Chain A
Amino acid sequence: MILGSIQPAVLIAALMVAATPILLAAIGELVVEKAGVLNLGVEGMMILGAVAGFIVAVQTGNPTLGFIGAAVAGGVLALLFALLTQVLMANQVASGLALTLFGLGLSALLGQSYVGISPPRTPKLDLGPLSDIPFLGRAFFSHDALVYVAIAIVIGVLWFLKYSRAGLILRAVGENHDAAHGLGYHVKRVRALAIMFGGACAGLGGAYLSLIRVPQWTEGMTAGAGWIALALVVFASWRPFRALAGAYLFGGIVVLQLNLQAAGVKIPVEYLSMSPYLITIIVLVFISSGKARGSLNAPGSLNRPFHASG
């Protein structure tokens, strides 16, 4: 039996690692969409974060600085998107695509002399006795800090959107920008800040791929992770905890698929590695149809431009 060789504790540990990059990107995009903006440039911001984080980490020998650099790079690229869509009123879909195409090119350009190098190791977080608990320790408490940072961001976003005043304003801007404007809130400013937060998160997610998950830099290494993160936001019906659950579910599928490859199942690798994309599509279909109708929960002003007249 093939599945018999897979240890549950190792599987859980691996799925948490596999889920973290898309979780980071998705929670950022969730906030952006809650503010009423659709940024399709997640893939571009992620890959720029991946290369920027890699370069900074290699140059300084410090992975923490790498992650900071990645967040900054993602945020700066997102600022470009904010400039286009909020100030210059460009179409959000087209601008997002431009961001992705530009990010893929720029990252390849920046990273060309970094191919084949190993980044400095990111240490595992020392949780003392927790890591020694049988099963639980191996599965949940022997990770690098970013795995927990991602979870903390999810909880933070949940609190922010639900209980904070600023979060309420952000949601108002996303649900009905005319009403929010009428109440005197700065729609564009709120949106620009949300967009930058999304960029920083996507950058972190990208750097997690290049510094921890893989860990190496290769051209186009995000391989659609940014798009899967976008799908995850729809899957989560714009709810932070569902994004967490969805990301871990997805991580589980990826890990299972990799294990099947390693176990030498009689399906060629190329076909097995289609599964993350196919499963994402199938899940999207289920979410957007039927009784659940997750799409009904979409922010009211999503992908609608705002321009205050007069």
Chain B
Amino acid sequence: MIQLEKRLAPSKRAQYLNPFLAVALTMVAGGLMFAVLGKDPLAAIRLIFFDPIFSEQFGSYSRPQLLIKSAPLILIAVGLAIGFRAGIWNIGAEGQYIIGALCGAGVALAFYPMEGWFIFPLMVVAGALGGFLWAMIPAILKTRFNTNEILVSLLLVYVAEKLLAGMALGLLRNPDVAGFPGSRDLRRYESAHNADLIANTGMHWGVVAAMIAVILAYVMMTRHSLGYQVRLAGQAPRAARFAGVSPTRLVVVCFGIAGVLAGLAGMFEVSGPSGQVRIDFASGYGFTAIIVAFLGRLNPIGIVLAGLLLGLTYIGGELSQMMLQLPGAAIQVFQGMLLFFLLALDFQTNYRLKLTKGARA
């Protein structure tokens, strides 16, 4: 008879191996799904995971896209992972991302058409502040009124989406073009444009911000006492309280960091790759970042790798939509399966299978 036995300590090997296994299993299951949809599974997998980088045909377009898609994912996931480590569930990053974008774009449009070096830095500050304040709503409701932060942060995503629609149709709408909803194109406004730092690489300020965030988060988690408190609160909440870790402070800090980073991601997106405040601006980065955080083992370095991989699936998804007429939703299913497999495999991190002789009561 087979029994599950709890390991005395989590298996390090399983912890590092599982993300790779999960990706492999997702490729197999995804291939099956593509086959059911009547597409050649090998061609689809190749198109999603290899062609965006290695293909002669699309490479020149899609290689820069890798940084563009991965940067917001990494930026958001790094912030979320800190909270997840402490057992604080901010699942409303999508909303914080939208509000960051609205605030950043709002500052830019307020100054239009004035040019000045100070406009872009101001937008960065506004974006970070917007995301921070939006994240403070669930944080303060949690600490002050003990309201469930999971539900509030998630419900605020819908509020942010409505606000985005309201802004795109109302306050931030481009007054020069009648009939089209959406703001002015920030890419045509030099002082506000988050342009490629090196032309045609996709290397914009958001990528730089993501790198800085990864390094700072790594230092914080391994070297700073705050990182220690986060890890302690996640692993042993009671012990953490005895050690003087304030749960209230931790909630505010974790939500604050995640909010700032998500707000920044939104701001860099709206001022660069997207360019406009549009109704369809939100593309689900805030939710995909949750998968990135888990796949990266809640570790900043791991998140970089996971972010690049999920960024790749975004581009591959677009390619397969064009080339194979695969529905866009297929890639969402793909990402969902990835998280499923990872969670399923993770049982061997904490448990092991044990064979016992005969049936025992």
A-to-B contact residues, CB < 8 Å: 40, 80, 83-84, 88-91, 93-95, 97-98, 101-109, 112, 219, 223-224, 227-228, 230-231, 234, 268, 270-271, 273-274, 277-278, 280-281, 284-285, 288-289, 295, 307, 309
Stretch at the interface among B68-76, B125-133, B153-161, B202-210: B153-161
B6/A309 in contact, CB under 8 A = yes
A-B contact sample (9 more), CB < 8 A, given A277-B158, A277-B162, A289-B144 = A90-B347, A95-B343, A98-B336, A106-B336, A108-B327, A224-B155, A270-B162, A284-B147, A288-B148
CB B176 to nearest CB in A, in angstroms, measures: 21
A101/B169 in contact, CB under 8 A = no
A84/B145 in contact, CB under 8 A = no
Residue on B with the closest CB to A286? B145
Instruction: List the A side residues contacting B331 at CB < 8 Å.
Output: 105
- Decide: A277 near B337, CB < 8 A? Known: A101-B291, A104-B332: no
Instruction: List the A side residues contacting B152 at CB < 8 Å.
Output: 281, 284
B351 contacts partner chain A, Cβ-Cβ < 8 Å: yes
B162/A271 in contact, CB under 8 A = yes
A231/B340 in contact, CB under 8 A = no
B48 contacts partner chain A, Cβ-Cβ < 8 Å: no
B170/A112 in contact, CB under 8 A = no
Docked pose: A161 CA to B294 CA in angstroms:
36
B212 contacts partner chain A, Cβ-Cβ < 8 Å: no
B291/A90 in contact, CB under 8 A = no
B344 contacts partner chain A, Cβ-Cβ < 8 Å: yes
B163/A270 in contact, CB under 8 A = yes
Instruction: List the A side residues contacting B290 at CB < 8 Å.
Output: 97, 101
Instruction: List the A side residues contacting B159 at CB < 8 Å.
Output: 274, 277-278
Specify which of A95, A104, A107, A109 lies most central, judged by the most chain B CB atoms within 10 Å of its CB: A109
B253 contacts partner chain A, Cβ-Cβ < 8 Å: no
Instruction: List the A side residues contacting B350 at CB < 8 Å.
Output: 89
Docked pose: A280 CA to B151 CA in angstroms:
9
B335/A105 in contact, CB under 8 A = yes
Instruction: List the A side residues contacting B344 at CB < 8 Å.
Output: 83-84, 88, 90
A102/B162 in contact, CB under 8 A = no
B247 contacts partner chain A, Cβ-Cβ < 8 Å: no
Instruction: List the B side residues contacting A88 at CB < 8 Å.
Output: 343-344, 346-347
Docked pose: A227 CA to B165 CA in angstroms:
21
CB B141 to nearest CB in A, in angstroms, measures: 6
Instruction: List the B side residues contacting A90 at CB < 8 Å.
Output: 343-344, 346-347
Residue on B with the closest CB to A307? B6
Residue on A with the closest CB to B167? A270
Specify which of A80, A234, A268, A270 lies most central, judged by the most chain B CB atoms within 10 Å of its CB: A270
Instruction: List the A side residues contacting B6 at CB < 8 Å.
Output: 307, 309
Residue on A with the closest CB to B337? A102
B329/A234 in contact, CB under 8 A = no
Docked pose: A201 CA to B150 CA in angstroms:
22
Residue on A with the closest CB to B157? A224
Docked pose: A165 CA to B328 CA in angstroms:
48
B91/A97 in contact, CB under 8 A = yes
A102/B151 in contact, CB under 8 A = no
B162/A274 in contact, CB under 8 A = yes
Rank and list the top 3 A-B pairs by shortest CB-CB distance, nearest first.
A105-B332, A102-B336, A108-B329
B287 contacts partner chain A, Cβ-Cβ < 8 Å: yes
Docked pose: A151 CA to B134 CA in angstroms:
37
Instruction: List the A side residues contacting B27 at CB < 8 Å.
Output: none
Residue on B with the closest CB to A102? B336
B154-203 residues with Cβ-Cβ distance < 8 A to A are 154-159, 162-163, 165-166, 169-170
Instruction: List the A side residues contacting B335 at CB < 8 Å.
Output: 101, 105
B162/A285 in contact, CB under 8 A = no
- Decide: A231 near B151, CB < 8 A? Known: A108-B329, A109-B329, A268-B169: yes
A109/B158 in contact, CB under 8 A = no
A288/B169 in contact, CB under 8 A = no
A98/B327 in contact, CB under 8 A = no
B166/A270 in contact, CB under 8 A = yes
A268/B166 in contact, CB under 8 A = yes
- Decide: A102 near B340, CB < 8 A? Known: A288-B145, A309-B6: yes
CB B276 to nearest CB in A, in angstroms, measures: 17
Instruction: List the B side residues contacting A295 at CB < 8 Å.
Output: 146
- Decide: A106 near B333, CB < 8 A? Known: A98-B340, A224-B158, A270-B163: yes
Instruction: List the A side residues contacting B169 at CB < 8 Å.
Output: 268, 270
Instruction: List the B side residues contacting A278 at CB < 8 Å.
Output: 159
